[in-house]
Chains A and B, each alone.
Chain A
Amino acid sequence: MNKTDVLIIGAGPTGLFCAHQLGIIGLNCEIVDNLDKAGGQCIELYPDKPIYDIPAVPECTGEELTNNLLKQIKPFNVKFHLNERVEELKKNQNRWHVKTSGGVEFDVAAIVIAGGVGSFEPRKFSVKECEKFEGNSLFYSIKDKSIFKDRTISIFGGGDSALDWAIELSNSSKVNLIHRRDGFSGAEASVQKVKDLNDQGKLNLFTKYQMDSVSGDKQIETIKIKHDEGEIKEIKSDYVLGFFGLIMQLGPILDWGLNINKKTVEVNTENFETNVNGIFAIGDICSYPGKLKLILSGFHEAALAARGCFKYAKPDEKLRFEFTTTSKAAQERLGIKK
């Protein structure tokens, strides 16, 4: 059981800055995120794209912004729980008991949801029968590549994941790479490599085809793919891999009794608390009149929510407003030696 003052759900810029604001006022926190790294949408959707509207930072990429925020919260030694999705929530007297998908448990005074547009989940095939084989012969990520040795693998997608795995698995498996168009979004060098392997007969490339159906008893045996112009091909296949990127889903947060409006959580603008006492929501996931989905708005919301958490974490103490330029306490927490 991890006992701390505040649990932050989401390690995007807003969640990271909230950890900073909590640290400054002397509260501890831990952060849970479903991705394998901090940064949220900044890292997952646009790590290399410049952002131009962070106050006092004329230009930075999503990756730079994330790294700077991580540096800024370093003094607080915040504990991260990555690859974990928050699942269960229970009120336990004045505290919250939270459990994640991986069985990690928390005992906290308050919760800050900084979940963006939800947790990132793999996009799946639209063909219904695919569900039946998911996790046994159809996968959206690879955990153990040894199972593919000497088998026939059909890989779908045109991005880096699809290309990289097609190239790698073609060494020891029979690989079909299927993509909906001639163009690819993956790196040019990988595209060339795939085309070379196709010419050398070490891989079969099918473009302008999409999944039509899968069949098999317990495991996938054959798949059918359909060309843009309607022609259908049947291919023997032991395994199917789909790499269509990630989609954001609100997930279990929907069941927590919060007021939800169009996939966002309603909050007040005084401290960004939801309709449930002790649960706050900040960043893209919250809504209120005038809400702007900007990182700078998330920072403002984080500062106020952090202060809103104080009364739950330290009910017998009074929070005094201080500046980091002059507050001895804040500077000590930041580890500044004078």
Chain B
Amino acid sequence: MTGLLYEGADWTFDTIQRVHDEIERIAIGELGLDVYPNQIEVITSEQMLDAYAATGMPIYYSHWSFGKSFVQSEQAYRKGYSGLAYEIVINSSPCISYIMEGNTMTMQTLVIAHAAFGHNHFFKNNYTFRDWTDPNGILDYLVFARSFIASCEERYGVSAVEQVLDAAHALMAQGVNSARRRRRPDLRSEEVRERERRMNDERIYSELWRTLPQGAKPPAARDDSALLRKLLELPQENILYFLEKNAPKLQSWQREILRIVRLMAQYFYPQRLTKIMNEGAATFVHYEIMNRLHKTGRITDGAFLEFLASHTNVVMQPGFREPQFGGLNPYALGFAMMRDIQRACAAPDNEDRTWMPDIAGCGDPMGALRNIWANYRDESFILQYLSPKVIRDFRLFHVVDDPDEATLLVESIHDERGYARVRSALARSCELSHSEPLIEVHSVDLAGDRKLILRHKLLDRGFLDEGEARKVLRYVAMLWGYDVLLQEVDSDGRVVKEHVAANPA
């Protein structure tokens, strides 16, 4: 079929269907993408605001913090500080993309290419998403989570549930096993497992046990702390998991709530690992598709110009001195790197052959990109594929800020000596441990007062924010039921600072 897919700015369900089919043909037939079935939902701007508030998910349990973020984004939107996203896409199968009714047809085309095919392919193929998320089960699990939390609110009161959720949310960043590759989660069976756990509790409950005389305590155990550490799986970086399994005083419904929050943290975890790649891939896909649509005469020149205008806005990278500067733009960097890889595959120069020997001149850019999208995350992706050309184009430079020095040091710039160092510095800064503190459960004083000991491993002498840490520790103490101690430990293993929270009960 040839000829224009649509004309003018207005969209209809027919044109969206037509455009989607054509994009699908290009994406799957020509680019070789592999996607979950698509579900595209047209929503109003108000519904978009709603979706924003609940982390973008179509269903979510109730909590005041979502109301707070709703109030914030509503405010920003009404005052015109920020526009709404053109689209939200959910890592689920079928892959749900929201598009706004106010968009022009060209924007809808762009969004379908970007979200329904770019992100969708990435969700389905990238290893972090495959390892940490279960797109088949997520929507059912959210339904379960919402109704479970609602039923807890009915049984135990809104404020009791809110307390547990507050505490769990504060620990969300410490709710993921980052290193261990787990078996693929199966969220569908979660509801069944919750029921089984509860039924097991009921089954093994016997009134008789209560009537047994509480005899003398068995003699104090020998020092088997090594065994205990093994049983408790210490040290444990996943604090939510540790509390869910081991906190002595929690009720089973409270453990289940911790589990829900933990599984949600795990579900969102890959998105934090692949910001640059995910956006880069999606932006690259929409750019390719829009170009092909225009080249084959399926969209008008006007539509193509409209697309270019908004595309350029998205991939703009202001320099560090400019007032709009807000850090590296993941869309810009990701897109530039994807385009660079495409170029190196098709028409490499000598530099590319030195820096990216495995793909330079391979002649199959899409194959190389698909492979990269599947097997890397931001940190490894940059370490491997940030080429001197992109470093030059972005004029990247690496600054070291040592608080003991009066001035900042420019460590490396975009020159022959600096490429490799800029590259590894940028890769390092994409590590989550670079931006977020590394805290783990170190030990529990089981022989004494059951104090829980957490450890923060200092990175480059950066201490925790004291006020925030105190508040979070109070939550930990509430969940743990006994006192909590947080030690900040330097690289030699010396404790340099301590925070304490007493059990509030």
A and B are partners in one complex rather than unrelated chains: no
Instruction: Write the residues of chain A forming the contact surface with B, with a CB cutoff of 8 angstroms.
Output: none
Instruction: Write the residues of chain B forming the contact surface with A, with a CB cutoff of 8 angstroms.
Output: none
